[in-house]
Amino acid sequence: MANPSTSNKRLQKEITDLQKTPPGWGSASIVGDSLYKWKASVAGPEGSPYEKGTFDIEIDIPADYPFKPPTIKFATKIYHPNIKSDGTICAQVLSQWSPQLKIVDVIIMIRSLMTEPNPDDPLEAEIAQQFRTDRNAFNKTAKEWTKKHAK
């Protein structure tokens, strides 16, 4: 199928680029010595209830990368309609995957999901309901969780 050196070479390049120009939102690096397991520390977007929090995200990269998307999981607890309590996130986010996208693009997509939740396609129905009907209460809980968990 996909040439294994394709994913290897590309991941190597992505890491080099990240080291050359560190992103504004935090940092990302490989876990241990496997190129296919990443960890990112992501700053909560300004203006969102996640502001001032730092969220750890685990990224698993398939052997067929970049033809197949990575899988994403929040290691930090987060109050969000599209992120399950176990940290897994709605597959919809990566369903528009293109092999042209990189790991940084995935993180940028996640940050925009933090800024703009999508309550029509929720993983946590109750949170989505609250997001729609009582935004203040939602923001309040999300902020509290951020303070408590996303240090």
Looking at the annotation, which residues are catalytic? 90
| Backbone dihedral region for residue 87 (phi beyond 0: left; psi -120 to 50: alpha; all else: beta) | left
64 belongs to the binding site for other proteins (CB under 8 A): yes
Interface of this chain with other proteins, residues 105 to 134, rule: CB under 8 A: none
Count Cα atoms within 13 angstroms, Cβ side, for 100. 1
Q: Of the candidates 66, 69, 70, 81, which one interacts with other proteins according to CB under 8 A? A: 66
Q: Of the candidates 95, 101, 116, 130, which one interacts with other proteins according to CB under 8 A? A: 101
3 belongs to the binding site for other proteins (CB under 8 A): yes
Q: Return contacts of 68-71, CB within 8 angstroms, 24+ apart.
A: 68/97, 69/94, 69/97, 69/101, 69/106, 70/38, 70/94, 70/103, 70/106
Residue placing its CB nearer to other proteins in the complex, 12 or 85: 12
Smallest separation (angstroms) from other proteins to the CB of 13: 5
Element (H, E) at 27: strand 26-30
Instruction: Please state the φ and ψ torsions of residue 67, each to the nearest 5 degrees.
Output: -75, -25
* Burial bucket for residue 21 (CB in 10 Å: 0-12, 13-18, 19+): exposed
Contact yes or no for 70/105 (Cβ under 8 A): no
The window from 24-32, 64-72, 78-86, 142-150 that contacts other proteins (CB under 8 A) reads: 64-72
35 belongs to the binding site for other proteins (CB under 8 A): no
Q: Of the candidates 41, 99, 118, 139, which one interacts with other proteins according to CB under 8 A? A: 99
Residue placing its CB nearer to other proteins in the complex, 6 or 139: 6
Residue placing its CB nearer to other proteins in the complex, 25 or 67: 67
Q: Pull the structure tokens for residue 117.
A: 């939740």
List of residues contacting other proteins (CB under 8 A): 1-3, 6, 9-10, 13, 64, 66-68, 96, 98-101
